[in-house]
A = this chain, B = another copy of it.
């Protein structure tokens, strides 16, 4: 599975990966930015709470978006593979101008949505220009290769992370979330070491990556976004290391980005926030 083909003359919609625990009172920079790119007051946002075990998660976001003056909010509880084939619900989904996947367990998302009409609709909608956002588990699920689960700790070790196929809106990044809060550098490095083609994106809580159609990524939020670029990797021992052994990785590039900074996923170049840039 690779990203849906974007028809000529159209642009892929933004992909918005949020590190979880986004601010829900006060500034709400991330949710406000998402609402803006979905059309502001005229936005029609579909909330998919499939990842969550809690019955109230969908309603929480419905209230949040309504408080941000979005009139058209619909919670679509795709809670079984059967429900994900229901043509009527999918038709409602397809009328949305933007989609928000809540947090929870990303394997619930992939096992429930994977290969169904809902997954196909989401891929088609994004290819036609609709923004698709996910927070926490929702963020992990957006890309082609998804971190399914793993262990904590900053050092990469053989066997500390398990990947699974995600929704596949992009294959340029592998996303990890609650990054600082749950000490996940090791598992992201391990994920990157399998095959250095992708770029690792470690999202702190209340921090988001807005990935535009041209594959530039803008950072929004109060935490930081860690970019792991393994494209210049000179050596990886991951193929030889035994279970639990630390991996030897030589030649990683690392950028720590904050609100206002950006990263070009094609050229792999980072740009500092405009306000913080030194006088030239």
Q: Which residues of A does B touch, CB under 8 Å?
A: 153-156, 179-180, 183-186, 189, 204, 223-224, 226, 234-235, 237, 240, 245-258, 261, 270-273, 276-278
Contact = CB atoms under 8 A, between A and B. Distances in A.
A259 B185 CA distance: 21
A235 B154 contact: no
Contacts of A272: 235, 237, 248, 250
A30 to B, nearest CB: 15
Contacts of A253: 251-254
Contact of A256 (B156, B234, B276): B156
A240 B251 CA distance: 29
Copies of this chain in the oligomer: 2
6 contacts: A154-B185, A155-B224, A155-B256, A248-B258, A250-B272, A252-B255
Nearest to A221: B246
A153 to B, nearest CB: 6
A237 B204 contact: no
